[in-house]
């Protein structure tokens, strides 16, 4: 489901009054929650290196209630904490995803396979896990699924793509299938494809949002998290897939105006 823009002028004013009276979120149209309640965002992969930065950015942003998913929720709550609502979930076990996604407005996934082959390899996490998340999100009423994928998923050939697939158990092949499943699902979505992930603080470099299938480069996990959170409820990011990499020639922060110039997926 897509967010519908609110019209302009008198009609818009009437619509806003009606939304306020119904306690309805302007962008999501959600009506179940009492007026003033924050929408729930679920973070799958919250224990990961990017997932933790997403939690940091969500806390800084303050617009959301955060449900953080972990295979070992008790340990995550003790070691990461952050006051979030930690829930146990394993993306290879679809039944474990239903309760955590019920009533959520947004889902962010930063999951990634932990082994090259076997039951937690890219086939079962970056593809099968994303499928299970999409299905549970649809059943749970999620309005926007923001999937962290990777540069190199689109396009063909090239040594970098070949080596990533060879070392990573065909990770880009399986990520591409996961992306396609999300795109075809009918859910509102945004697919963010970061370049090679580095540790480091956010906001120290300019970033480039790009739809060139051969875009490569690198980016910090922290900057990736800031971009991901900026897509939540952002109409200009809906139904779009794009890569994001650091670019010294871009002004720091200028990327925030670039969502509107990205083309929607077909
Ligand atoms: N490394 C790069 O340079 C690079 C570049 C572009 C894109 N990416 C992609 O960016 C994403 C984030 O990368 P990262 O380095 O932050 O990953 P990471 O630190 O390895 O974190 C992976 C996360 O996935 C979770 N996970 C794995 N299997 C799971 C399962 N069966 N059920 C539920 N959760 C599961 C892990 O949870 P547990 O704590 O339970 O293990 C962890 O939270 C990944 O999709 C990665 O492929 C990486």
Please, what are the averages of pLDDT over each run of 10 residues along the chain (266 residues)? 37 38 40 73 98 98 98 98 96 98 98 97 98 98 98 92 93 98 98 97 96 96 98 98 97 97 96
CA distance 6 to 44: 30
**What is the pLDDT, as a whole number, of residue 36?**
75
d(CA 190, CA 57): 17
Instruction: State the first-to-last Cα distance of the chain, in angstroms, to the nearest integer.
Output: 15
The predicted pLDDT at position 34 comes to: 60
> What is the per-residue pLDDT for 10?
36
Residues 111, 125: Cα–Cα separation, whole Å:
7
Residue 13 lies in a domain: no
Domain assignment present for residue 266? The answer is: no
pTM score, two decimals? 0.89
CATH of the domain at 61: 3.40.50.720
Identify the pLDDT of residue 61: 97
CA nearest ligand 1 atom 15, residue: 49
pLDDT given for residue 140 in this prediction:
97
Q: Is residue 202 part of a domain?
A: yes
The verdict on residue 23 lying in a domain is: no
Number of domains observed in the structure of the chain: 1
Owner of token pair 């239903």: 98
Rounded to the nearest angstrom, the distance between the alpha carbon of 226 and the centre of ligand 1 is: 17
Tell me whether residue 25 is in a domain. Answer: no
Which H/E stretch holds residue 51?
A: helix 49-61
Q: Is residue 78 part of a domain?
A: yes
Tell me if 26 is assigned to some domain: no
30 located within any domain:
no
* H or E segment and range at residue 138: helix 128-140
* Nearest protein Cα to ligand 1, atom 46: 112
Domain ranges, residue 248: 35-261
Residue of 43, 44, 46, 48 with the most ligand 1 atoms within 8 Å of its CB, for mutation: 48
Q: Which residues line ligand 1 (CB under 6 A)?
A: 45, 47-51, 70-71, 90-92, 110-112, 114, 120, 125, 129, 148, 150, 194, 196-197, 221
């Amino acid at each position: 489901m897509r967010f519908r823009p609110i019209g302009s002028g008198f009609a818009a004013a009437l619509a806003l009054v009606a939304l306020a009276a119904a306690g309805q979120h302007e962008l999501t149209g959600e009506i179940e929650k009492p007026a003033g309640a924050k929408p729930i965002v679920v973070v799958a992969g919250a224990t990961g290196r990017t997932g933790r930065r997403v939690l940091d950015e969500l806390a800084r942003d303050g617009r959301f209630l955060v449900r953080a998913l972990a295979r070992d929720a008790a340990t995550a709550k003790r070691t990461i904490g952050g006051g979030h609502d930690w829930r146990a979930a394993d993306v290879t076990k679809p039944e474990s995803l239903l309760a955590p996604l019920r009533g959520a407005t947004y889902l962010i996934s930063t999951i990634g396979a932990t082994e090259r082959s076997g039951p937690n390899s890219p086939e079962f996490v970056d593809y099968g896990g994303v499928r299970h998340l999409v299905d549970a999100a649809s059943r749970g009423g999620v309005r926007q699924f923001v999937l962290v994928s990777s540069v190199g998923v689109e396009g063909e050939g090239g040594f970098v793509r070949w080596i990533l697939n060879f070392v990573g158990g065909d990770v880009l092949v399986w990520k591409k299938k996961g992306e396609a499943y999300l795109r075809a699902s009918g859910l509102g979505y945004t697919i963010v494809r970061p370049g090679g992930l580095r540790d480091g603080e956010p906001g120290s470099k300019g970033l480039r949002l790009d739809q060139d299938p051969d875009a490569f480069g690198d980016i910090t996990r922290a900057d990736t998290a800031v971009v991901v959170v900026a897509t939540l409820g952002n109409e200009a990011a809906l139904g779009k897939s794009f890569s994001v990499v650091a670019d010294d020639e871009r002004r720091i922060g200028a990327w925030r105006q670039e969502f509107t110039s990205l083309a929607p997926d077909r």
